Amino acid sequence: MTQATCATEEALVAFCALVRAEGARLYRDLPWRNTRDPWLVLLSEVMLQQTQVSRVLRHWSRFSAAFPTAEALAAASTTDVLSFWQGLGYNRRALALKRAAERIAYDHKGTIPATRDTLLTLPGVGPATASGVCIFAFNEPQVYLETNVRAVFLHHFFTESALLFDPSGSSTAGPTADPQPAQTPGSQPDAKRGPTPGSQPDAERGPVPDSQPDATRGPVHDREIIPLIEATCDRVDPRGWYYALLDYGNHLKKTLPNPSRASKHHTRQSRFEGSVRQKRAWLLRELLALGEATTEELCVSLNRAEHRASRPDLSLEELQAILTALASEGFIVEQAKGWTIRG
């Protein structure tokens, strides 16, 4: 029997009261929280996949103004979509979002599906994103297992096992994680041992880390957290409940050490600068700026940028492999005069 399954009804009630109080104190007035438009909620949920809120804040309003409906995004060119997406990272999400918009426009007559199962049929929409749309657009109770939400439940219910929790490992992905790239640096949940359910952290200093937890039980699995989410979810106001969890979890991650870095499962994301990921992003930006370029022209331009960064040249063969991969994923196409963003 785990610690979580030992939680009493009284402890759960106290926990809910604490989360509500902390959520009210820490509430973040984010622009996508001021709408119940399912399309705009879907935009925010996709943008927030593996991306920090501060970055999404810089792009959500501009992107949603350019593409205020699914039909608008479906009708847009890939060039326009990628241009407005620049700065958010993980460009695959932009292509998946455009394909989802096309499905919504053509298969659903422009109406965002209101059920989780139907949302899951859309490209780029996994369980967490589908649940988020149901909760924040339709106020429907769902299991929403996001990194900040995890942080709260780990902090309060898994004090002996939190050190081994690894949100990026396959053992903890569980059935609720969206399919997407590895965690961005700094996005790991903080799950340091903290007060028992119902105990009030010091409002001035935040919760005080306890002594080193006993890391003998093994990693916490999402399937162990889900029953707690189901037991505590506010069925009348799930939207407000999850806002409270998200804001309280965000606060915990900022005020407590990150014990997941000590996990035997923890791996850091590979360095971006100089990586193939960085070169892919550079090539897309270059083609967005130029409109069209040959492999040879792109090789000269890219290596000029590599020289400025004191990195070695990329061979024509290496560049061709990256371009071929981008083409196979639907980003670019090779035409008579060179490479261009796919229409």
**Residue 114 in contact with residue 38, Cβ under 8 Å?**
yes
Percent of the chain at pLDDT exceeding 70: 77
**pLDDT of the residue at 219:** 72
Closest by alpha carbon to 322, among 285, 274, 271, 280?
A: 280
Span 313-331, pLDDT tens digits: 999 999 999 999 999 999 9
Q: At what angle do helices 238-255 and 9-25 cross, to 10 degrees?
A: 80
Q: With 0.75 as the threshold, say if the pTM is over it.
A: yes
Is the pLDDT at 21 greater than 90, yes or no?
yes
In this prediction, residues 277-303 reach a mean pLDDT of 94
For position 343, what pLDDT does the model report? 82
Mean local confidence (pLDDT), 255-279: 62
SS3 of 14-63: HHHHHHHHHHHHCCCCCHHHHCCCHHHHHHHHHHCCCCCHHHHHCCHHHH
Pairwise CA distance, residues 129 & 143, whole Å = 11
Q: What angle do CA 177, 181, 183 make, to 5 degrees?
A: 80
Please tell me what DSSP assigns to residue 265. T
Token pair of 205 as six digits: 């200093």
pLDDT at 6: 57
Beta carbons within 8 Å of 44's beta carbon, 6+ residues apart: 32, 56, 60, 136
Domains and CATH numbers, the chain: 4-26+144-262 (no CATH), 37-138 (1.10.340.30), 276-341 (1.10.10.10)
Q: How many CB atoms lie within 10 A of CB 83?
A: 17
Instruction: Work out the mean pLDDT of the chain and round it to a whole number.
Output: 81
- Least confident window among 4-18, 187-201, 240-254: 187-201
**List of residues 6+ apart from 320 with CB closer than 8 A:** 295
Q: What is the CA radius of gyration of the chain?
A: 22
The pLDDT tens digits for 238-258 are 999 999 999 999 999 998 865
Question: Which segments of 169-315 does DSSP mark as H helices, in order?
Answer: 170-173, 222-232, 238-255, 276-290, 295-308
